[in-house]
């Protein structure tokens, strides 16, 4: 498969890079690393440039590109580690609505996501449960439903207008578009390394039938396809993080001297950087493979699992390597490298770490 980007893709990637480079200064990163994590100014710039609607159909105010182009934008966010809910809103929230929503749901949500006035997210993880078979349940209540369960690791839940909630019902698996202010919904910030995740408790939450995404319940095939896209998007962010992290590390070991020699000339340092380069290439290529197959509407379960394995295992190795070659300066919060480690580490454990992902991939290969 040829991963050479065409002219439109290069221009789109260049536009995202320009905005994120201009706005992703160390001072701004530090300013948005605490409670005020959301860089709303950069978000507005993305909205003005049309980048929030990159994968939203043109009829709903978007640019009409595919999922692959969305991944290219997410990779650029990973390079600059600018705190915006791109993954949460555009992938976890808007993309499932674009793929499976009714005409009314698309018209209601997608235009305001594209213009930046609405932020969506999706709650796809639970403690001890396979994301493909959620333990959160929904039971019929007249013309509506009652939802009970707990979701964890939800991105941007504290600022989202709506949250997509996968559930298991007696009739199949479905996804509900939930108002986070509904009675029975409790949202609590989780203490994570990037402070961007939330836990959602749902206790006897009542929703009407129109809140069911696409109005469908099925065997979980829709949820599996959504999870493939959500997982691949995480891999795109990690690939961007890794690429920029080794660039920063390479610059450091080239300019840092010990015993009157650049650190880069020491064999152990050179080997560590070479291994990191190989891991980064594997992360990027497997991500592009998965994103390309999904963009073409092709089955990509093995490709997605491969990409997630490399994002988790390769991202972990790159993250530790760039810290180690920096020495003590790596833990200085006034220096940027720790941010890349934290972003890759968070993504490593989102929707499956390396070992369970590799086991899942092995089962797929054995069954094929």
Task: Give the pLDDT band of residue 37 (cuts 50, 70, 90).
Answer: confident
3-class SS at 166? strand
Q: How much is the pTM?
A: 0.96
Fold category of 221-367 in CATH: Butyryl-CoA Dehydrogenase, subunit A; domain 3 (1.20.140)
The Cβ of residue 1 has, within 10 Å, a number of other Cβ atoms equal to 8
Name the segment(s) of the chain with CATH classification 1.20.140.10: 221-367
Check pLDDT > 70 for residue 20.
Answer: yes
Q: Check residue 195 and give its pLDDT.
A: 62
Tens of pLDDT, residues 297-356: 999 999 999 999 999 999 999 999 999 999 988 888 888 999 999 999 999 999 999 999
- Give the pairing type, strands 144-155 and 172-178: unpaired
Task: Tell which CATH classification among 3.40.50.1220, 1.10.540.10, 3.30.365.10, 3.30.450.70 matches the domain 7-118.
Answer: 1.10.540.10
Tens of pLDDT, residues 269-300: 999 999 999 999 999 999 999 999 999 999 99
Q: Computed over its alpha carbons, how large is the radius of gyration of the chain?
A: 21
Instruction: Name which residue leads in pLDDT, 27 or 203.
Output: 203
Name the segment(s) of the chain with CATH classification 2.40.110.10: 122-215
Class of 122-215 in CATH: mainly beta
Instruction: Name which residue leads in pLDDT, 25 or 115.
Output: 115
- Please, which contacts does 333-340 make with residues 24 or more away whose CB atoms are closer than 8 Å? 333/30, 334/26, 334/30, 336/26, 336/29, 336/81, 336/248, 337/245, 337/248, 337/249, 339/29, 339/33, 339/81, 340/81, 340/241, 340/242, 340/244, 340/245, 340/248
Which of 119, 122, 153 minimizes the C-alpha distance to 46? 119
CA distances from 122 to 150, 151, 267 (A): 13, 10, 46
Task: Give the pLDDT band of residue 4 (cuts 50, 70, 90).
Answer: confident
Share of the chain above pLDDT 90, in %: 88
Tens of pLDDT, residues 57-94: 999 999 999 999 999 999 999 999 999 999 999 999 99
Tens of pLDDT, residues 104-122: 999 999 999 999 999 999 9
**Residues 94, 68 contacting (CB under 8 angstroms):** no
Q: Check residue 31 and give its pLDDT.
A: 84
């Amino acid at each position: 498969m040829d991963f050479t980007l065409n002219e439109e893709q290069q221009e789109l990637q260049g536009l995202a890079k320009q905005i994120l480079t201009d706005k992703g200064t160390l001072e701004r990163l530090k300013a948005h690393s605490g409670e005020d994590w959301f860089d709303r100014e950069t978000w507005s710039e993305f909205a003005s440039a049309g980048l929030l609607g990159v994968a939203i159909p043109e009829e709903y105010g978007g640019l009409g590109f595919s999922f692959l182009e969305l991944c290219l934008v997410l990779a650029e966010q990973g390079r600059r580690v600018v705190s915006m809910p791109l993954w949460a809103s555009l992938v976890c929230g808007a993309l499932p609505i674009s793929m499976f929503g009714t005409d009314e749901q698309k018209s209601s949500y997608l235009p305001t996501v594209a213009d930046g006035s609405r932020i969506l997210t999706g709650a796809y993880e639970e403690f001890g449960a396979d994301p493909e078979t959620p333990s959160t349940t929904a039971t019929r209540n007249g013309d509506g439903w009652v939802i009970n369960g707990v979701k964890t690791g939800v991105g941007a839940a504290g600022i989202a207008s709506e949250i997509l909630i996968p559930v298991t019902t007696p009739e199949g698996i479905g996804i509900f578009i939930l108002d986070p202010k509904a009675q029975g919904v409790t949202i609590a910030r989780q203490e994570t390394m990037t402070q961007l995740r939330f836990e959602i408790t749902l206790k006897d939450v009542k929703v009407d039938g129109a809140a069911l995404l696409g109005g469908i319940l099925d065997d979980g095939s829709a949820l599996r396809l959504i999870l493939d896209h959500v997982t691949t998007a995480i891999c795109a962010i990690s690939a961007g993080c890794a690429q920029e992290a080794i660039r920063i590390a390479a610059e450091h070991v080239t300019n840092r001297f010990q015993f009157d020699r650049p650190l880069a000339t020491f064999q152990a340092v050179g080997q560590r950087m070479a291994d990191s380069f190989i891991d980064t290439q594997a992360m990027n290529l497997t991500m592009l493979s998965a994103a390309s197959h999904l963009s073409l509407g092709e089955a990509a379960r093995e490709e997605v699992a491969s990409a997630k394995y490399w994002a988790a295992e390769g991202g972990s190795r790159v993250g530790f390597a760039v810290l180690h070659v920096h020495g003590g300066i790596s833990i200085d919060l006034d220096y940027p490298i720790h941010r890349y480690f934290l972003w890759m580490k968070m993504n490593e454990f989102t929707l499956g770490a390396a070992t369970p992902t590799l086991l899942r991939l092995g089962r797929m290969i054995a069954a094929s």
